[in-house]
Amino acid sequence: MSPEPARPAGDPGQSDGRTVLDDTDIARALTRISHEILERNKGARDLVLLGIPSRGVPLAERVASRIASVEGYDVPVGSLDVTMYRDDLRLKPARPLLPTEIPSGGIDGRTVVLVDDVLFSGRTIRAALDALTEIGRPAAVRLAVLVDRGHRELPIRADFVGKNLPTSLVERVRVTVAEIDGTDAVTIEGTPAERSPA
């Protein structure tokens, strides 16, 4: 999962939150995103998908698989760690570096689709854009997210969204994926009623 600020630590299997997307919902959302990417790009050529670790990476791989099943073309998939480009490095404990793997063809002149699990403040995506400048010069950069929960702090918008999920700031959105957590689900933890008294 990308290091967005309002996500809880701990074992995803221990969640007691309210499930808002199950495995079938997630599969349907990723299929829709894949078709929307193809329509916007007018095919699969010159596409590169970069997942933001950790849960953005398997989501990117699933989107690539769906595109291949429609187009018969394998879209290059990689991962883009944004840790060193975050603007909160000095405010929080040190984070482990995660893999950055750029497909062999690079990104110059291509349409790069960043793939993440949750779009929240927008700061992870800002960091991803900074990281991209160190790697190459794509023709265009798009953003695909499984969940957009609102509360943006920067002028960043997703091009492809699996689910718009209005939340309060005291709620937490947790995404689990089978490749990492053993199950596919999106849950909301905490409710406005749990807010501490003013």
Indicate the domain borders of the chain: 17-85+96-190
In this structure, the number of other CB atoms found within 10 A of the CB of residue 198 comes to 3
Q: Phi, psi at residue 122, to the nearest 5°?
A: 95, -5
pTM: 0.86
Q: Which pLDDT does position 6 carry in this prediction?
A: 38
Fold of the domain spanning 17-85+96-190: Rossmann fold (3.40.50)
- Are 64 and 74 contacting, i.e. CB atoms less than 8 angstroms apart? yes
Amino acid at 52: I
- The pLDDT of 134-139, averaged and rounded, is 96
- Are 81 and 100 contacting, i.e. CB atoms less than 8 angstroms apart? yes
Q: Which residues pair with 78 in a beta bridge?
A: 50
Q: Residue 25 pLDDT more than 70? A: yes
At 11, is the pLDDT very low, low, confident or very high (cuts 50, 70, 90)?
Answer: very low
Q: Residue 83 pLDDT more than 80? A: yes
**Which residues, in sequence order, are CB contacts of 164 under 8 Å at separation 6+?**
147, 148, 150
Measure Cα distances from 79 to 53, 131, 142, 155 in Å.
7, 11, 15, 23
Length reported for the chain: 198
* Weakest mean pLDDT among 20-29, 40-49, 97-106, 139-148: 97-106
Structure tokens at 195: 């807010």
- The pLDDT of 77-95, averaged and rounded, is 82
Report the share of the chain in percent with pLDDT over 70.
84
**Averaged pLDDT score across all residues of the chain:** 89
